[in-house]
Amino acid sequence: MKITNADLLNAVGPFAELMQVKMPSKVSYEIIRLTRRLDEYLQPATTVKDQLIVQYGHENPETLQPEVAPGDEGFAAFAEEYGELLGIEHEIEITKVVLPEDIEIAPVTLLALEKFVTV
């Protein structure tokens, strides 16, 4: 299955939310295995994203963390390179995890996970 870095980065929060929901052991196990498999591709993308923020952004005086925002001097260059990063595709062999039908999860969460899970 073709999965982009955008798919991976957009699924981080929803996977974290999904992992808090009680499910049968087999489903929980499959989700853990899937997230570990995807992490192999996610970590390099996150590292490059962080490097781009440091390169094109500035330190927030309140949080002391690097940030880049529209209107910043380096934002256009950041946006271009970040867009390229998000568009990188990976061919990853995965099996979608079948979630229990009675799971209570927000539609927006399922939308972000549609390449990885099914109900």
Per-residue pLDDT tens, the chain, 119 aa: give them.
899 999 999 999 999 999 999 999 999 999 999 999 999 999 999 999 999 999 999 988 898 999 998 988 889 999 999 999 999 999 999 999 999 988 888 899 999 999 999 98
Domain boundaries, the chain: 2-118
The span from the CA of 90 to the CA of 3, in Å, is 5
pLDDT of residue 61: 87
pLDDT of residue 39: 94
- Dihedral of alpha carbons 14, 115, 44, 40, sign: positive
pLDDT of residue 119: 84
Other CB atoms closer than 10 Å to residue 25's CB: what's the count? Answer: 7
The span from the CA of 32 to the CA of 66, in Å, is 31
